[in-house]
Amino acid sequence: MGLFRKLAPAPAQSTNYEEKQIPEPLPTGVVGAFMWGFGICLALLFFLLRAANHFWADSDGTAILRLYPTAATWCFLPGFAAIAIPWPLTVWLLRRTGRTDEANSIENSSNERGCGVDSFKIMKWLSFGVVGPIAVFTLLAIPMHLSITNSAVLVGHYASLKTEVFPLSQARRATMVDGYRLRDGSFEKKRDLYIDFADGRRLDVNAAGDGGTQISDATVELLLAKTGLNAVHVSTREELPGI
């Protein structure tokens, strides 16, 4: 808090403004309702982001099964945006529409509760410095997916417009990884399937889940049936055979 006071000290309060607010004050509760409503709209971006990801995956065409990133991927941007953006945006809009008295009243009240920091400046920094990068990183995840068709596995990667195609007829080896070891040496069970192809590429079937999910029995059975392979089991990823 002391650092914030140095970087963004609260401006001196004044009740004698040179230019008085011309519009009539808004009814009690309107400003608060607007902030809450706008925050809820930002939170609902979760569904828009997830729908965009599914729409991107559907562009592969007909598929037997699709895998998507874990739902938590789409929570960060709506959550941080709903917390950081509504308040400074409301203050800014009040000033832009000539409601300076109301804007200053809200800001002064927040500065008092904030122990002498410029709340508007801090929240503006959070909006650009935190929410902005999260928005970029989240939007880059929209292409991520895995589609299994009758003849191939199509994988959309992070920050890539190109879908990688793995022809099932070229699959040469399947390896099932049972889990991974934690720093203390203990074993954490989390299954994953790796398929090696004739051209030297290796498919991580859980790639779309970004490590946040575990592949289902249905996915494993489908891929092994389509490739005609029998999976070899290893304990951890470090034990995977060379390609």
Confidence band for 13, pLDDT divided at 50, 70 and 90: low
Domain boundaries 145-239, CATH class:
mainly beta
Q: Give residue 108's pLDDT.
A: 87
Helix 76-84 vs helix 30-43: angle between axes, to the nearest 10 degrees?
170
Q: Give residue 114's pLDDT.
A: 59
pTM for this entry: 0.86
Q: Give residue 17's pLDDT.
A: 46
Q: Tell me the C-alpha distance between 131 and 123, whole Å.
A: 10
Q: Whose CA is closest to 76, among 215, 214, 210, 216?
A: 210
* CB neighbourhood size of 41 (10 A): 13
6-10, 86-90, 116-120, 222-226: least confident range = 6-10
Q: What is the mean pLDDT of residues 22-29?
A: 81
Q: What is the mean pLDDT of residues 40-62?
A: 98
Q: Give residue 136's pLDDT.
A: 98
pLDDT of residue 135 exceeding 90, the answer is yes
Q: Give residue 240's pLDDT.
A: 96
Q: Whose CA is closest to 50, among 132, 131, 142?
A: 142
Dihedral angle computed from the Cα positions of residues 8, 12, 18 and 19, in that order, rounded to the nearest 10 degrees:
50
Confidence band for 239, pLDDT divided at 50, 70 and 90: very high
More confidently predicted of 4 and 154? 154
Positions of CATH 2.30.29.30 in the chain: 145-239
Q: In sequence order, what are the residues at sequence separation of 6 or more whose Cβ sits closer than 8 angstroms to the Cβ of residue 230? A: 174, 224
158-196 as b/e: b if 16+ CB within 10 A:
eeeeebeebebeebebbbbbbeeeeeeeeeeeebbbbbb
Q: Give residue 25's pLDDT.
A: 80
